[in-house]
Amino acid sequence: MKKRETLNTEQQNKNSLEIDQFSVLKILETINYEDQTIATAVKKVLPDVEVVVSFAKKSLDSGGRVFYIGAGTSGRLGVLDASECPPTYSVPSDWFIGLIAGGDDALRRSIEGAEDDQFQAEEDLGKYNISSNDLLIGISCSGAAKYVISALEYAKKKSAKTVYLITNPVPYLSTSVDKVIAVDTGPEIVAGSTRMKAGTATKMILNMISTTTMISMGKVYGNLMVDLMAVNEKLVDRGARIIKKITGESYEKSLEALINADKSVKIAIVMIVKSCDAIEAKNLLDNANGMLRKVIKNKV
C-alpha cells in the first residue's frame, strides 16, 4: 500500500509555493494555468473511458443501471451527473444513480468521516438488488475512501461490472475491478484540495461517460438533444426550435406539434416527417429502439 504522502494530489505544487503572497490577479492566473492541464490529462485516459462507455451501454441495454458512488466532492459530482440525465435525455430516474457517503445530508455539508465507513456502502447498495446487469463506478480522487472500496467489492460479489475512477497514477487503496481510470491531475494549487483540478477532471470524465452513452443510444440527433423533457418554458421553447431545425417547419407549427405530442420532441418530429398522429409516431420510434435517425431515414 502506498503512503498518503506519496500521492500526487498530496504534493505541493511548485507553481503555488508562495501563493499566499500573490496578488489576487496572480492567484487567478495561477489557478487558470493549472486548470488548463486537465484536458490534456483526461485525453490520456480516453481509451479507458471508451471501455467504460461500452460497459454503461451494455448495462442499460440489458435493463441494468449505472451507479456512481463516492465520498465528499467525488460523491457530489456523481450525484450531480446522475441527476441531470433524466431531464436532459428523458431517461428513467434509475438509469443513472448517484450515491454519496453520508447520504443526502453530505450533499450540502461536509461529513468527511463517512468515507471511512466501509460497512455503510454495503448497506446503501443493499436496497438496489445489484445484479450482473449493473455497472458500478467508484469515484475516489486519492483512492483512499474505504466506503468506495467496500462498494466496489460488494458490487463485484454481485457480478456487476466495476470501474475505479481515481486522479492519481495509483490508488492509495487497491481492489480488483474490471477497469481503472487513473487520470493524473498532479499537485493541486492548495496541496490536497482535490475539489479543484481533481474535481474538474472527475466532472469531465463523468460528463463524457453519460453523454457518450446517451448519444450511442439515440438520445441525440446530430448534436441536438431530441430526448429532452420539455418541463418548463425554456425547454418548451428549445424543443420547438429543435423540431423546427430538423423538420424545416415554422416555429408555430413546431410548437403545436410539440404540444400535441405531449411535449415529446422526438414524437413531434416523427409526426411532422411521417404525417402521422402521436400514437403512430411513438410506435415507429419504439420499433426503432428510439433511434430517430432510423425512422427519418426509413430504416424501419
Active site residues: 84, 115
Grid coordinates belonging to 208: 463524457
CA distance 211 to 233: 24
**What is the CA angle 213-157-2, rounded to 5?**
85
Q: Please report, for residues 55, 57, 60, 101, 228, the alpha-carbon distance to residue 65 in angstroms, rounded to integers and kept in the order given.
A: 10, 9, 6, 19, 20
**What is the CA angle 17-21-25, rounded to 5?**
100
Type of residue at 273: V
Type of residue at 127: K
Counting other chains too, the contacts that 26-31 makes at CB distance below 8 Å and 24 or more residues apart are 30/189, 31/189, 31/196
Question: How many other β-carbons are positioned within 10 Å of the β-carbon of residue 236?
Answer: 17
Identify the H or E element spanning 78: helix 72-89
Inter-residue contact 261 to 267 (CB < 8 Å): yes
**What is the CA angle 115-119-125, rounded to 5?**
90
Cell 438509469 belongs to 95
Report the 3 state secondary structure along 84-102: HHHHHHCCCCCCEEEEECC
